[in-house]
Amino acid sequence: MRYGLIGATGRMGQEIKKAFEGHVLCLKVDTQETWSDETRPEVIVDFSHRSSLPDTIELCKKHGSALVIGTTGLNDEDFLMLKELARKVPVVQSYNFSFGVNALKIILASYSKLFEDWDLEIIEAHHNKKKDAPSGTAIMLQNAVGRPCPMHSLRIGGVPGDHSVIFANEGETLSFNHRAISRSVFAYGALKAAEFALTVNNGFYTFEEVLQCKLKK
3-state secondary structure of 147: coil
Query: How far apart (Å, rounded) are the C-alpha atoms in residues 156 and 9?
Result: 23
CB atoms near residue 128 (< 10 Å): 10
Query: How far apart (Å, rounded) are the C-alpha atoms in residues 172 and 168?
Result: 6
β-pairing, 66-69 vs 43-46, is: parallel
Would you please indicate which residues are annotated as catalytic (active-site) residues? 126, 130
Helices H / strands E in the chain, number of each = 7, 11
**Helix boundaries (H) for the chain:** 11-19, 53-63, 76-85, 99-111, 136-145, 184-197, 207-216
